[in-house]
Amino acid sequence: MTERAAHPVAPVIPERYRHSVIPHIMVDDAAAAIDFYERAFGAREEFRLDAPGGGVLHAEISIGPSVLMLGDVSLEAAEAGSWAAPAALGGGTSVTLHVFVADVDALAERAQAAGAQILQPPTDMFHGDRTVILRDPSGHMWVFLTHLADPSEEELRSGLAASGI
């Protein structure tokens, strides 16, 4: 076993990232996506690093206490197959982003007015949350939820069975 050098221990993870997995999505126009997220979801831009050749290399936004990282897909990354925006995948995506908000109905109205496609309108779900499912103009899928109740495991199972999912 090797000895570590003695030095003050700094937090390994910044405070704002300590209790979550931070999604990092790729889009074809990050500046437009950030503008949409501000208008539709009330997001706040926290940080932006522009790419030397134009576009956004890396940005961070907050939606409530949740943090999302995003950036433009470079031509080189797309050609190498290492990163892709949903449009490059034929419009599909393998990730859905879940965010809890205080008023899912108000968010759904705001998002639809900003250009989001509502796939499931706000609905009280068996799992205890009022939920809306939408697709943003970049093709990313979002589930916004307002927590209503804490069903027991038995209630979850019977609710799932009754839902027909």
Summarize pLDDT for 38-86 with one digit per residue, the tens.
999 999 999 999 988 889 999 999 998 889 999 998 766 655 666 777 8
What's the pTM value of the predicted model, to 2 decimals? 0.80
Task: Please measure the distance between the N-terminal and C-terminal CA atoms of the chain and give it in whole angstroms.
Answer: 52
Give the pLDDT confidence score for residue 1 in this predicted structure: 41
User: Helices (DSSP H) in the chain: which residue ranges?
Assistant: 30-41, 75-80, 104-114, 153-163
Q: At what angle do helices 30-41 and 104-114 cross, to 10 degrees?
A: 140
Assigned CATH topology for domain 19-84: 3.30.720
Please list the residue range(s) of the chain that carry CATH number 3.30.720.120: 19-84
CATH architecture of 94-165: 2-Layer Sandwich (3.30)
Task: Give the whole-angstrom CA distance, residue 148 versus residue 127.
Answer: 9
**By CB neighbour count within 10 A (0-12 exposed, 13-18 middle, 19+ buried), where does 12 fall?**
exposed
* Start and end residues for every CATH 3.30.720.110 domain found in the chain: 94-165
